[in-house]
Amino acid sequence: MGRLLLALCLCAGPMLTSVAVAAEEAADVDPVALAALLIRDGHWDRAATALSDVDLSVEGVDRGRYHTLLGMIALHESRFADAVTAFEDALAVGPAEPMLYLQLAQARLGSEDFDGALAAVDQAGSLEDTVAAVWLLRSRSHWGAKRYDEGYAALLEGIRRFPERGDLAQHQVLLLVELGLFREAVEVGRVYLAGDDVEAPAYVLLAEAMRQAGEHREAIELLEAARLRFPAHQDVLIQLAGTWLAHGVPSAAGVVLQEAAEIDPKFALEAAECFRQAGEIDRALYMNGLVVDAEAKVRQRLGLLIESERFEQALALEMRLIRHGMAEDSGVAYALAYARFMTGDRSGAETWLTRITDTKIFEAATQLRTVMAACEEEPWTCR
């Protein structure tokens, strides 16, 4: 027994020493420095937790850095007012790097304090020859304040100084689109797309300019190229589907939305609608089967079955529609009344017609009642 206790003591000694050292090291960790490392690695929530442990009353805490990191976290989370406060607190501590003024400008811009954003950018003027974001923020600040000439001039100056920065050219396309100068946007965008490392949003933006300029076919070709290059990019797929639909080809739009639905099922409902418009009811029913929203799914399925004259299948949905609380929906009631009538159940049709309260649908219900009455008087005409 004594040997066992001795062995335990001998084993526990190093273990306890290690634990004590680990605890001492943990106590020595600077939470502000730790938060900075976590932000650098993209762990924003953990960085916020680390900063919550900071006691500003303790001597030696880097208050300027603390407030700056708080501002960066708030900016990342689009809490612009909080970011403004944090960055202003950081500046109040003492001398700051010019980059802090750009962060403040970005926060003020998000808060729609455009003049305040411009003032912050101007205080970071020493960066205007080395940081392209100076000109982008200056342009966006003027633009937000509706000083369009100044905003566009600032952007052009940024492009002159940083011709290699594609984000400036992309922003130029955006401003031209906002001004309604779609053809000019297309010309600038085509030059921009000729460069290297162009990302998916640029294709989407230029395609929208093309569409607004009436160049639907060119927009489709551009987006089809982007679809091959970025096959899983939702914005590209949605823009392409919308362009096909505007071009009068709902079937192609349905195919593209079907691809989008494989990434996110929420697009299944729209894909089914496109196939319906194209008259491809079976494909529409297939996509409807993938719809997640139960109420939207059964409503759309009812319409598809009625449109394809599958009245018995439509009536099989009655209990599902009632369970989803849709029995009082005038559109649903009319569809079921019509299906009942078409299967020869005129009494059942009348039961559903009595539920209709929507004045827009009431006229159609009146017409259906007229047809039903005619069938009662002259049954051979309704066979």
Rounded CA separation 255/24 (Å):
61
In this structure, of 1-15, 299-313, 318-332, 348-362, the range with the lowest mean pLDDT score is: 1-15
- Over residues 43-55, the mean pLDDT reads 88
Rounded CA separation 285/304 (Å):
7
What pLDDT is recorded for position 10?
33
What pLDDT is recorded for position 200?
87
Backbone angles phi, psi at 118, to 5 degrees: -65, -40
Residues 21-40: tens digit of each pLDDT: 333 344 457 888 888 899 99
Single pTM value for the model:
0.66
Q: What does the mean pLDDT of the chain come to?
A: 85
Residues 64-113: tens digit of each pLDDT: 888 999 999 999 999 999 999 999 999 998 777 889 999 999 999 999 99
- Give me the DSSP letters along 203-258: HHHHHHHHHHTT-HHHHHHHHHHHHHHSTT-HHHHHHHHHHHHHTT-HHHHHHHHH
Is the pLDDT at 380 greater than 70? The verdict is no
Rounded CA separation 352/314 (Å):
14
Rounded CA separation 102/57 (Å):
28
- Over residues 341-349, the mean pLDDT reads 88
Rounded CA separation 368/349 (Å):
9
What pLDDT is recorded for position 74?
92
Rounded CA separation 198/187 (Å):
16
DSSP type of residue 29: -
Is the pLDDT at 383 greater than 80? The verdict is no
DSSP type of residue 195: S
Rounded CA separation 182/380 (Å):
61
Helices first, then strands: H and E counts in the chain: 23, 0
Give the count of beta carbons closer than 10 Å to the beta carbon of residue 326. 18
What pLDDT is recorded for position 7?
35
